[in-house]
Amino acid sequence: MVVHIDAFDDLAVTNYCLWTWNVTNQGVCYRLCHNDPKCVSFQHATGRCRGYAVAFTLPSRVQNSAETGTRLYLMCTAVNHYGAACTSGTDCHGINSDCLDGICQCESGSMFSETSFLCTQYYQGCYFDDASRMLPHAEYNVPGMTTELCIQHCRDENYVYAATQYAAYCYCGDVLPDGYPKKPESECSMPCDGNPAQICGGGWRNSVYLTNV
């Protein structure tokens, strides 16, 4: 009823964690995950159990650190779930998910929410900008800019919207003001400095996202 994923042995997985409990044995850990509808994988070590909302396929897909004695297991419900291996989009049954690079991941315009544990639509579109700034707060510029980095920055600053621009810039705000119309997606075409697979706006063009996912 569970499958051991040996590639994760001795790793402490921190992403997508639902809960952590002190347990006496692996059987208790399994039952905790089995009884939680959101839990599709669990990690057990002596005295501790972590439940996760995704099916992990590759260690490179998560942030982790060394933790001797841990073992990761997938529940039978992990098949075709977020994080599972796939060959086409029809293999992925999670809401707003698609098969990308052989893994069921959130489709374009969605992000995995750490509150709902679902892929949530968050992309708002490509917008015009000028020197007065559509989103005028908490400007952030780093060479390794990504969509997630900008969204997290604006969320940490308690703003509703985040926008990437010109590959490496991030802006935040609470409203989408008049005078800054939505533009064709083709006008937001610059790859993000930190992830060329993502788009980070363009020249005076914002790729706008909600932060409350």
pLDDT in tens, 176-213: 999 999 999 999 999 999 999 889 999 999 999 998 75
60 and 102 share a domain? no
* Residue whose token pair is 């994988």: 41
**How far is 11 from 6, CA to CA, in rounded Å?**
10
CATH number (domain holding residue 12) = 3.50.4.10
pLDDT value of residue 213? 57
108 and 138 share a domain? no
- State which residues form the domain around 133: 123-210
96 touches 110 (CB < 8 A): yes
User: Residue type for 170, please?
Assistant: C
Among 21, 54, 78, the domain boundary falls at 78
74 and 130 share a domain? no
113 and 129 share a domain? no
115 and 128 share a domain? no
In a domain, 84, yes or no: no
Paired with 42 in beta bridges are 51, 73
71 and 135 share a domain? no
Strand ranges in the chain using DSSP code E only, listed in sequence order:
2-5, 11-13, 17-22, 41-45, 48-52, 64-66, 71-75, 97-100, 103-106, 110-112, 119-121, 123-128, 137-141, 161-165, 169-173, 182-183, 191-192, 195-199, 205-210
Helix residue ranges, H only, 55-201: 147-156
141 and 186 share a domain? yes
In a domain, 170, yes or no: yes
pLDDT value of residue 209? 94
Strand ranges in 38-160 using DSSP code E only, listed in sequence order:
41-45, 48-52, 64-66, 71-75, 97-100, 103-106, 110-112, 119-121, 123-128, 137-141
**Ranges of residues in the chain whose predicted pLDDT is under 50:** none
pLDDT value of residue 62? 84
The token duo for 143 is 């060479």
In a domain, 158, yes or no: yes
116 and 142 share a domain? no
CA dihedral 42, 46, 47, 48 (to 10 degrees): -30
183 and 130 share a domain? yes
Among 51, 78, 105, the domain boundary falls at 78
pLDDT value of residue 197? 86
Residues in the chain: 213
Task: Kindly report the pTM of this predicted structure.
Answer: 0.70
**How far is 205 from 188, CA to CA, in rounded Å?**
6
131 and 194 share a domain? yes
Report the number of distinct structural domains present in the chain.
3
Q: Judging by DSSP bridges, how do beta strands 169-173 and 191-192 pair with one another?
A: unpaired
113 and 139 share a domain? no
95 and 171 share a domain? no
